[in-house]
Chains A and B, each alone.
Chain A
């Protein structure tokens, strides 16, 4: 997942970018001509955007960029990546170096994960059995 500092975010207003509130139904929007969907975390404890990302990526098979915006903190980046986000715009006060380090050391990421997700669909037990 690409991490963007807060200052580098852009393009939300462009054609081809769809901005969704985190209580919007990802099934009720047209994705025609959409290259990027911005999802929102109003508070990091509000996890609705994880399901929105999953449904866009897996269920609707959206191939464009899914971007995390809002209360995006370093300790939730791995969950975002696994739920289908391609890009995360860090909250202004988040340290990029810390973000990269924390993302890379998340159990279920470096060490391996138990359940399948939006990106790596098969659960661990299937991969382990095939090995």
Chain B
């Protein structure tokens, strides 16, 4: 790829976002190992290029729905690391005031319509958000992330069809990491690529190397241009691999060592850093500096979380409903 067509600012952002995601989750993993971090998490380690690549084609006012493996999406959408970390620690300063945890992070101010604990559930919601954007006459789009496992959910089928019928501005991003918990791709699909289904809905589908952040970025750029022009939704499948198990300490013993080794060599961050260095975009010192800066951000987020108060039951009891205006 010819890097000269890309500005240094974007190239930098792609790296910074991938590093934030990687280091944020590494900090979480340590916290689960060494402290009593509550709840659970699903690491996106190895898949960071997808969220990062998409993030650089988004504009203010665009919205996003995420998955159970959603820290990366939230970070890519600009949700505060401090607030995300506080949420993981169940603190009142969390992005969902400590009421959601890893799988229920919402930040409407930043157009982040939530991680979700139900696989595939984000897609119909993204369709509704895109309908709202269209009715408002905005040129904004909705991005819906989902895994290849989710692609077999009925709600996903319904959402893809509805978006296509109504020509809604949705970018559907399928993160194909080959495994739905333990069940491998070939045991759930009778086709080679999930994107093969897209034409059946009447929308274009493209499969790209999801570990190549520039490939994701370039493909996403085309896809969103189409959506912003009112030409309807787009299906982008990104082939990737999760380095870790499904959740927390799940050992992923259903995968061969060879397979894992092969994919570790395709680590999207290392690949991108090597490219940036070999093309002379950033020097080794500059790359190191970027890493240090992100490390500081994560450290700061940990301190922010630790210094925030724990949530209490009292306020939760009043949160099932929003109080209507004028009601006491």
Are A and B part of the same complex?
no
